[in-house]
Structure 1
Amino acid sequence: MRKRVLDILLVCMALFLLWPIILVTALFVRVLLGGPVLFKQARPGRHGRVFNIMKFRSMTNETDENGQLLADDVRLTSFGKFLRRSSLDELPGLFNVLRGDMSLVGPRPLLVEYLPLYNAQQLRRHEVRPGITGWAQVNGRNNLSWEDKFKLDVWYVDNRSLMLDIKILCMTVIKVIQRVDVEQIGHVTMRKFTGSGNAEGERNDQ
C-alpha cells in the first residue's frame, strides 16, 4: 500500500512539473514522425494480466512494397534516438502508473509472447507490478543478457522495499543524465527473447 501511495504522489508531482515537456514532446513527435503520437502495445503486468503500455513513438511507420515494416535501424530517426537516449519516450508511462497497470519501480514489462518461454524462476518477475524503471535498468539495462536481466528482476522481487525503490529512482536519474545502456551494442533494439540461451533480432518493440 505504501508503494502504491508513493507511486501516485510522485507521478502527480512529475506530471505537474513535466506537463510542458510532455506537450512539447508530443508536438514534435506529431510533426517529425506523424501520427499516432503514442506507441501502444500489449504487455503482461502483475500475475500476467495484460495491459496496453504507452510510450511516445520513436520510429516511423515506413513499409516496403509488400506492406512489411522496414528494419528498426531504418525507421529509427535521429529524433527517435534522442527520445530514447533522453528517456522522453517513457513519459506517457506515467499514466500507466496512475491507472495501476505499472509502478514507478519494478521489472520492465516485456512482450506477451515471452510468457510461455520463461522458466519457473524467470516467471517470478510477474509477482509484482512492472515498472518504468527497475533494478535491471540501473545495472546494465539493454547491455545485459536476458538471463542476467531476469536474475536481477527476481532479485528485486525478493528484496523489494521502499528504500530500495528510492535508491533505484535516484540511480535512474543519474543514468538518464548520463544516457548510458540505452541501446544493446550492435542493435537499435533489444534482441528478442526466445527462451533461455537463445535470442534473435527483435522487430517493432519500441
Structure 2
Amino acid sequence: MIVPPAPRRWDDPLKRAVDVVAAAGLLVVASPVIAAVALAVRVKLGSPVLFRQRRAGRGGEPFELLKFRTMRPAPPGPWTAATDADRLTPLGKALRRWSLDELPQLVNVLRGDMSLVGPRPLPVEYLPRYSSAQIRRHAVLPGVTGWAQVNGRNDTDWSRRLQHDVWYVDHRSLALDLRILARTAYQVVRPHGVSQPGQATMTEFTGTEFTGE
C-alpha cells in the first residue's frame, strides 16, 4: 500500500540531525545499560537476545524493528492456548515498565527506518485494516515515542490512539517533538499505561474499532 508522504517542512533536516545526534549519543551513554539488559535476556531467555519483526514504516514500506526480547517462545503446535500475557516473563515486565526493551530501536533511528518521535510502527499486517484517515499515520517516519504514547501509551483504545497519530502528522514540528520527548522522559520515570487491562501490551487492531473520519 502506497501512502503519500507528508508535505516537507523547513525543519525536517534539523529533525533528522537531532535524531542522529541524539540516538548516537544515547547509544554511547546507555551502552552499560544495554550490555546489562542483553546479558540478562541471554541468561533468562536464551538466544536470540533481540526480537525482530517486520513493521510498516513511512509510506507503508516494511522494515525490521529491533527490541530486546521480553517473552518466552510460543509453545509448538497449532493447539497452544498460551497468550502474550502468559509468555511475558518477570524480566520482560520490568523491561517494558521502564521502556528498556525499546533501546535497540536507537539503531533503527540511525538507519533512517525511524525517528525519535512519530507514530509507533505497527505490524505490516495492519495496513489493509486502516481507514483512509488512519492510513495517513504512515505519511511520516514512525517513532520510538509519539503523541499517542504521551497521551495514554497503550492504555487507550485503537480509535483514539490512531487519531492521535494522524493529529501528529498534521501538526508535527521540531518544537512539538521536543515537547513529546520531555513528556516521554517523565513517563519513563513514572511509568503508567504500559498495557491495557488484562493484556501484555495491547489488543490486536482489527480495523473495526474506527468510529469516524
TM-score interval, smaller chain: over 0.9
The reply to whether residue 132 of structure 1 matches residue 177 of structure 2 is: no
Q: Secondary structure at the match of 1:39?
A: strand
CA 1:55 to 1:67, structure 2 compared with 1: closer, same or farther past 3 Å? Answer: farther
Q: Paired residue for 1:148?
A: 160
The structure-2 alpha-carbon separation of the partners of 1:67 and 1:36, relative to structure 1 and needing over 3 Å to count, comes to farther
1:170 is matched with: 182
Provide the residue aligned with 2:101 in structure 1.
Answer: 89
Give CA deviations for 1:147-201 in whole Å, capped at 9, x if unaligned: 1001100100000000100000000000011111101112112101111328xxx
Q: TM-score, normalised by structure 1?
A: 0.92
C-alpha distance in structure 2 between counterparts of 1:64 and 1:119, whole Å: 35
Q: Deviations over 1:37-74 (max 9, x none)?
A: 00000001000110000000000114156585832122
Provide the residue aligned with 1:52 in structure 2: 64
Is the CA contact 1:62–1:69 (under 8 Å) kept in the aligned structure 2? no
Q: Which residue of 2 aligns with 1:70?
A: 82
- In structure 1, what is the Cα distance between the partners aligned to 2:121 and 2:59? 12
Counterpart of 2:60 in structure 1: which amino acid? G
Out of 45, 49, 53, the residue aligned to residue 41 of structure 1 is 53
Deviating more after overlay: 65-74 vs 122-131: 65-74
Moved over 4 A (4+): 64-69
Aligned counterpart, 2:22: 10
Q: Of the candidates 19, 26, 41, which is equivalent to residue 31 of structure 2?
A: 19
How high is the sequence identity, in percent, across the aligned residues?
53
**Equivalent position to 2:127, from 105, 115, 121:** 115
Decide whether aligned partners of structure 1 residues 16 and 118 sit closer, same or farther in structure 2, where only a CA change above 3 A counts: same
Structure possessing the higher relative contact order (Cα contacts under 8 Å, 6 or more residues apart): 2
The one-letter code of the counterpart of 1:23 is A
Secondary structure, counterpart of 1:192 in structure 2: coil
Q: Please give the secondary structure, in 2, of the residue aligned with 1:41.
A: strand
Supply the distance in 2 between the matched residues of 1:4 and 1:68 (Cα, whole angstroms).
Answer: 44
Deviation at 1:76?
A: 0.6
Q: State the 1:16 CA deviation.
A: 1.4
User: Superposition RMSD on alpha carbons, in Å?
Assistant: 1.4
Q: Which amino acid aligns with 1:153?
A: D
Structure 1, 71-80 or 92-101: larger mean CA deviation: 71-80
How has the CA–CA distance of structure 1 residues 196 and 129 changed in structure 2, closer, same or farther, with 3 Å as cutoff? same
Alignment match, 1:61: 73
Across the two proteins, how many residue pairs are aligned to each other? 198
1:112-139 Cα deviation digits (max 9, x unpaired):
1110010111000000000000000000
Q: Which amino acid aligns with 1:41?
A: Q
Q: Secondary structure at the match of 1:141?
A: coil
Q: 1:132 aligns to what SS in structure 2? A: strand
Query: In structure 2, the residue corresponding to 1:114 is in which secondary structure?
Result: helix
Q: Secondary structure at the match of 1:193?
A: coil
